[in-house]
Amino acid sequence: MGALEAIKAAIVLVVGTVLGWLVAGLYADLVSLPAAREAGAVHERGIWEARQREAEAKAEADRRAVQSRIDAIERDFHQREAERLAELSNLEAALDQEANRVSIPSAADRGAVACRPAVPRGLRDALDGIGRATPRDDPPGAPAVMR
C-alpha cells in the first residue's frame, strides 16, 4: 500500500498545484490586473494632460508673438499713413499758394509764343520730395505662397 499512497499523494499534489495556478490566474484577471490597468490609465492620462497644457501654453505664446508682430506692423502702417496725409496736405497747401501766387496772363498779354510751365515750380518741388518710393522689404514678384 505504500506505492498506492505515494501515487495518491502525487495526484493530490498535482491537482493542488493546478488548482493553485487556476485560482491565482483568476485572482490576477479579476482583481489585480484591472486595478493595475486603471492605475496605468490614470498615470497616462496625467501625462497626456500635462503635455496638453504645455502645447496650449506654447500655442498661446506663439499667438501672442504673432499678435505683437501684427500690432507693430499696424502701428507702422498708421504712422506711414499719417505721414502720407501730412505730405498730401502740404502738397495741397503748396498748390493753393502756387495758384494764388502765379496769375495766368490773358492771351493778349502772353503773346503767341509764350507758354506757361505745365507744372508750377512750387508744386514740382513738393512733388519731387514725395515722388521717390522707398525700397520694398520683400522682392518684387509673386508672393512666396504662389511660387
- Only one residue has cell 502756387, namely 98
pLDDT 10s digits, 13-31: 999 999 889 888 888 778 7
pTM: 0.43
pLDDT 10s digits, 76-126: 999 999 999 999 999 888 888 877 776 666 666 655 555 666 777 777 777
Asked if the model's pLDDT at residue 135 lies above 60, the reply is: no
Give the pLDDT band (50/70/90) at residue 147.
Answer: very low
pLDDT of residue 25: 84
Please give, one letter per residue, the 3-state secondary structure of 82-99. HHHHHHHHHHHHHHHHHH
pLDDT of residue 123: 75
Name the residue type at position 51.
Answer: R
pLDDT of residue 132: 59
Question: CA-based diameter of the chain, in Å?
Answer: 158
Average pLDDT, the chain: 82
Q: Which long-range contacts (CB under 8 A, 24 or more apart) does 13-16 make?
A: none
Contact of 131 with 84, CB cutoff 8 Å: no
DSSP string, 22-85: HHHHHHIIIIIHHHHHHHHHHHHHHHHHHHHHHHHHHHHHHHHHHHHHHHHHHHHHHHHHHHHH
Neighbour-count burial of 129, counting CB atoms closer than 10 A to its CB (0-12 exposed, 13-18 middle, 19+ buried): exposed
Q: For the chain, what percent of residues have pLDDT higher than 70?
A: 76
Q: For the chain, what percent of residues have pLDDT higher than 90?
A: 39
